[in-house]
Structure 1
Amino acid sequence: MENPSQVYAALGLTHVGPGLSGKDAEPGLEAAHGHRVRELRVTGTAEVCCPADRASLRFRVSSSKESVSEATSSVSRRLEYIQQALRQHGVGEEDRSVRRFLHRDDDWYCLDVEVTVTFCDFDQMERVCGVLLEKLDKSVTVGTPRFFHSLECLSEMRQRSCTSAVENARRKADKACQVLGQILGTPLLVTEEATKEWKNEEEVEEEDGGLHLPRLPTITASSQVSVTFGLRGPSKKKL
């Protein structure tokens, strides 16, 4: 990710103004030539990839009867079984919602019910689908899962990207000090200069039968930081 021509490190001498007394300056940062603080500025980059941690799945049951009560009764039995299976597999009420749609089709009353469930455990989702398809068979329609990232997942990914970039900058500064014969001091300034995020939602084609299955989407976050460290020279030799 990092451009090979990018500056590895920059060494500078910053003038300390008259308003900064000796007790305010960091010990060991004053150079041999007057009031100048030696600094080492490096850049650090990092990328963090995060797969989706949530899946939304829809279950649909429907019925067409000569009366509203018959249609409602027919759907209610299957709906209750779906709700029961979800409870038994540890899916809370806050992770599921139910929508009903009643309409007329000629002389028939048609009732469609859709249950939308959010899963954070994909194995749990597979078990629920297996139970419902086995017990309800064709009387239930199971949709294709829609995978996505929670806000907590995205926030943690961005933080990890930034902190990893800072860690890389620190390691780079340590190596630079070994070459310069200096001792790395405390960080004086940390700036996040650039961030970027991109998605990967390609589909994978199965070899047998050409079936297209949704690939678990991932998001990659990159961060570039600039960190300025003070230097503590083991001797008063010129750099």
Structure 2
Amino acid sequence: MPLSLPPARVFAELVPPPVGTPGSENDSPGIKKGFPGFLQQPGREIHVSGAAELSAGPDRAKVTVHLKSKKAEACAARTSVSRRLDYITQTARQRGGISEENVTVTKNFSRIDNAYKMEAEICITFSDFGKMQDVCNFLVEKLDSSVIISPPHFYHTVETIDTLRRQVCLAAVGSAQQKAQEVCQLFGQSLGKPLLIREEEMKEWEGSLENHIISPSDSVSLQQRLQNATVYVSSKMFAVFEIKGEKKRKQAALKN
């Protein structure tokens, strides 16, 4: 399922050079030794912060179908369950485009008093939620109470979460660079290369507080389940950029 990426919320600030007394050596780029946090040439660096927040809806849904049969004869119990299992599998393949690797079946056979009980559970993983609804509605219509279909469990693949983390990191760095560029332009300066980029914080959470409604799981709507399963990731970055000298700015202007 495609990522849902709302516009990043960003901020940045210009940090003035600190003033103090000499201290221990500091090997940070562009910073004078003996003056922690001091600029080698005051005003030739710009310190900015950038932040971004992105979200991604779930891209997988797992539906579990329960079915059972209790008969006086073992063969009859097995046949009853097997026939419905085949029908469910065929429906998932034809109407949902589901391959065998996305279908898992477990069975349990037991004897209770003078009867035989056959139970089965089939788990189907969907990537298309529209087809998932179509398959579930069709099975309810055709099999009625002979099967119990659990509410879908929505989740994300590892690849989706990794992509989201990278995107929010790049968005936060981009916002810091953009703000630094705008501040330099405001003062007639040219932004140079980055001297330091550091991630200050990254947070991840699922859903939002207002979406987590306290109610029986069966009464939660499909849209609410999707909202509750949506993952949000935020990142805060700190960056230091060089401010180009007069000579470099003139050379850059001539090239342009």
Q: TM-score range by the shorter chain?
A: 0.7 to 0.9
Percentage identity across paired residues of the two chains: 36
Corresponding residue to 1:145 among 146, 152, 167:
152
2:31 and 2:121 map into 1 onto residues whose CA distance is 69
Corresponding residue to 1:223 among 235, 240, 253:
235
Corresponding residue to 1:14 among 22, 25, 30:
30
Q: TM-score, normalised to structure 2's length?
A: 0.75
Whether contact under 8 Å (1:14, 1:37) holds in the other structure is no
Corresponding residue to 1:175 among 182, 195, 209:
182
Q: 1:86 to 1:61 in 2, by over 3 A?
A: same
Q: Secondary structure at the match of 1:8?
A: coil
2:76 and 2:178 map into 1 onto residues whose CA distance is 71
Q: Secondary structure at the match of 1:10?
A: coil
Paired letter, 1:228: V
2:243 and 2:99 map into 1 onto residues whose CA distance is 55
Corresponding residue to 1:160 among 158, 161, 167:
167
Q: Which residue number corresponds to residue 220 of structure 2?
A: 212
1:85 and 1:164 map into 2 onto residues whose CA distance is 43
1:76 and 1:65 map into 2 onto residues whose CA distance is 14
Q: Which residue number corresponds to residue 21 of structure 1?
A: none
2:59 equivalent to 1:43:
no
Q: CA deviation at 1:14?
A: 2.8
Mark the runs of 5 or more structure 1 residues left unpaired by the alignment: 18-30
Q: CA deviation at 1:174?
A: 1.0
Corresponding residue to 2:212 among 192, 195, 202:
202
1:175 and 1:51 map into 2 onto residues whose CA distance is 33
Deviations along 1:66-89, whole A, 9 cap, x unmatched? 122111111111110111111112
Deviations along 1:67-114, whole A, 9 cap, x unmatched? 221111111111101111111121111111001011222211111110
Give the number of aligned pairs.
Answer: 214
Runs of 4+ in 1 over 6 A off after TM superposition: 1-4
Paired letter, 2:236: Q
Q: CA deviation at 1:179?
A: 2.5
Paired letter, 1:233: G
- Structure 1, 128-137 or 162-171: larger mean CA deviation: 128-137
Whether contact under 8 Å (1:14, 1:38) holds in the other structure is no
Corresponding residue to 2:104 among 72, 97, 108:
97
Paired letter, 1:219: V
Paired letter, 2:30: T
Q: 1:122 to 1:39 in 2, by over 3 A?
A: same
Q: Secondary structure at the match of 2:97?
A: coil
2:111 equivalent to 1:131:
no
1:234 and 1:156 map into 2 onto residues whose CA distance is 40
2:138 and 2:160 map into 1 onto residues whose CA distance is 29
Q: Which residue number corresponds to residue 21 of structure 2?
A: none
2:173 and 2:10 map into 1 onto residues whose CA distance is 17
Paired letter, 1:104: R
Mark the runs of 5 or more structure 2 residues left unpaired by the alignment: 1-7, 18-28, 34-39, 249-256
Paired letter, 1:14: G
Q: CA deviation at 1:3?
A: 11
The structure carrying a bigger helix percent of its residues is 2
Q: CA deviation at 1:204?
A: 8.7
Paired letter, 2:239: V
Q: 1:15 to 1:225 in 2, by over 3 A?
A: closer
CA RMSD of aligned residues (A): 2.9
1:198 and 1:81 map into 2 onto residues whose CA distance is 39
